[in-house]
Structure 1
């Protein structure tokens, strides 16, 4: 029985559901290394301390108590000025030797994620790449190759997720693919096996698909109530072959925070274009739009269009992996600016 239990845990560690990974971390919490620590504030209890660090009390309370035996007062109270160990908040198996963690969803070449800094500690991001499952989204042609929006938007989103984690954020991939990982090829093979967090089949019906994603985000948002939260939705546009467009941003018209988020991202892109292509100019816009997920999701949100999948120059933005990584890096930098401006 004990051997079967160990085999089950080992097998689960390679599943891609964030929830399953979290369970594995909790089971092995007392053995993991390189935990982050924090100092309790005057009058602070475990619930408020965990929330301050973007951790759900309902999920992390018991692990926190186990990690801090001997440091707690009566009824598990905290002592102001005492240093406490925080439960691991990443949904991945830990890699104690490097101080990083293993995230199989990024694929073998990129699954090892090592921390750069804690500049986004306490931030929670929900990353939603467009379409997926039965819907490939916009489709373009490049020679004999078919370019599907869902594959390229997903690859950029994965790269963004990895970058945010490197800076200490807690990240949820809402659209997920267990097989793809980050891919460095130019022409990403389309498939239909994407799921919605945690492991839900994506429906064909457009409205049901949007409702499913909105519900996934909102359930997680409730769990992380009180934390800094943002929803980032990434798409690729489809226009005539002659229309070259820059990365542009939508927000819900009622959300001042969403507008500020979009502006922070847009200004980051403008700065990057001024730096790397000073004579080109950047014309990406920020505007409001009445989109379902923007309108009904709880966290402040931004909807990003990466370019025109039918325009030759825009296609270079997608098919070259270093350009996809640059998009992810610039988005991450804009999100860091947004975090700093709203702390």
Structure 2
């Protein structure tokens, strides 16, 4: 009986502490704001919130209960619907992103109702293409994986359901130029086979199984790779789509348009030569959802290497891929209304 009472008391203390923390939320007013506008900006509308606010801040208010600039005011605790909305915006947790970035907040609903299957190329016993800068080896699977993690985080923050198919329990999002190489990657916990066909079929099977389970109307897959060509061959990002699949082709074209727009904005006059083509690749043939296969550049070329070794560039690639998905999802929603 004593044990039960102590547990109940602990729970009550925890709840009281949580309420106190919420009640202690504070903020500064903006120029021209009265109490009503100030509270509305913090998702607190109505006479009850205003009354609570005045009670909490009596000594800080000006004449006629006006707000003073530069004064931090205590906000009344959220109630009911507003509390539920705030709870939905609290941090989510994905350990694959690494300790520093594991927590994330859903900041918009742009991709609510969308589901994605993200696959970084190669992994496990297969490093993929290998480039070199001096004595440092650049392994395709490491750079593709880092960009996929960044893309996944972006998509999740916009409210999407995301499956990260190839996973490394240790490597989160990394900002290093030279990413350490390993063979730890798994296919959602299952060892990756050495045989190429079995390796590719494993990830296709995983996607197709999840595809059947996921109750979403819009479901898309992306395979992220880094190409390997002659050192002197500089390439832009290019996209492959599934043959005879209009949704896959639309997605690839949307991705290319997004990249063209971004290059014109950030590097005017450079031009963007990335292409869109149908290609009979194994993963595109054997994957159920509309899919796009992305090659991020030539890992042998010194100019293309900058696109992947600089963390800001990897983030930009992830941002642009995410924006392409948002545009494609909006197109899909308009089409299906």
| TM-score, with length taken from structure 1 | 0.71
Local SS of the residue matching 2:236: coil
How many aligned residue pairs are there? 254
Say whether residues 1:287 and 2:277 are aligned partners. yes
Partner of 1:75: none
Q: Of residues 129, 132, 141 in structure 1, which corresponds to 2:132?
A: 141
Q: List aligned pairs for 1:20-31, cutoff 5 A.
A: none
- After superposition, the Cα gap between the structure-2 partners of 1:297 and 1:97, relative to the gap in structure 1 and judged at 3 Å, is closer
Say whether residues 1:166 and 2:157 are aligned partners. yes
Query: How big is the shift at 1:225?
Result: 4.5
Partner of 2:103: 112
Query: How big is the shift at 1:227?
Result: 2.5
Q: List aligned pairs for 1:204-219, cutoff 5 A.
A: 204-219=194-209
- After superposition, the Cα gap between the structure-2 partners of 1:98 and 1:167, relative to the gap in structure 1 and judged at 3 Å, is closer
Cα deviations by residue, 1:23-65 (Å, 9 ceiling, x for unpaired): xxxxxxxxxxxxxxxxxxxxxxxxxxxxxxxxxxxxxxxxxxx
Question: 4+ residue runs of structure 1 moved beyond 6 angstroms?
Answer: none
Gaps of 5+ in 2: 1-80
Q: Structure 2 CA distance, aligned partners of 1:117 and 1:168?
A: 6
- After superposition, the Cα gap between the structure-2 partners of 1:205 and 1:281, relative to the gap in structure 1 and judged at 3 Å, is same
Say whether residues 1:196 and 2:159 are aligned partners. no
| TM-score, with length taken from structure 2 | 0.73
Gaps of 5+ in 1: 1-83, 85-94
Query: How big is the shift at 1:296?
Result: 1.3
Q: Structure 1 CA distance, aligned partners of 2:243 and 2:211?
A: 20
Q: Of residues 292, 295, 308 in structure 2, which corresponds to 1:305?
A: 295
Q: For the aligned residues, what is the CA RMSD?
A: 2.2
After the TM superposition, which of the residue ranges 95-104 and 173-182 deviates more from structure 2? 95-104
Local SS of the residue matching 2:249: helix
Cα deviations by residue, 1:242-283 (Å, 9 ceiling, x for unpaired): 000000000111111000000000000000001011110000
Query: How big is the shift at 1:292?
Result: 1.0
Q: Structure 2 CA distance, aligned partners of 1:338 and 1:258?
A: 10
Local SS of the residue matching 2:205: helix
CA contact (8 A) 2:121 2:223 kept: yes
Q: Structure 2 CA distance, aligned partners of 1:115 and 1:286?
A: 32
Q: List aligned pairs for 1:2-21, cutoff 5 A.
A: none
Q: List aligned pairs for 1:242-257, cutoff 5 A.
A: 242-257=232-247
